[in-house]
Amino acid sequence: MSEAANASTLDVRGLNCPLPLLKTKKALLSLPVGGLLTVLTTDTDSVPDLRAFAQSAGYAVAVTGPEEGVYRVAIARTEGPA
């Protein structure tokens, strides 16, 4: 499988908690192990929730932003459940 097939972007800009977290969990389920999900969010409150979820699930997570009001939360899916 190509690297691009293992990468996905979830755009939840404009949505407020808990929707970014719920949609992220669902998107991770459809991503293969080793895949990378980049979540775009404008909800400042969802950033620590996404980080905490990813860390508790054992996933690698990196947050950048805000750039023009948008945070990028990159989550690498590992063997753990979503």
Could you give all domains of the chain from N- to C-terminal order, each with its CATH number?
4-76 (3.30.110.40)
Distance CA 81, CA 32 (A): 11
**What average pLDDT does the structure give for the chain?**
92
**Stretch (H or E) spanning 65:** strand 60-67
Q: Residue 64 above 80 pLDDT?
A: yes
Can you give the pLDDT at residue 79?
Answer: 77
pTM above 0.75, yes or no: yes
Give 26-48 pLDDT, tens digit per residue. 999 989 999 999 999 999 999 99
54 is catalytic: no
Which of 6, 8, 15, 17 does the annotation list as catalytic? 17
From residue 38, give the alpha-carbon distance in Å to each of 20, 63, 71: 12, 9, 10
Under 8 Å between Cβ of 66 and 43 = no
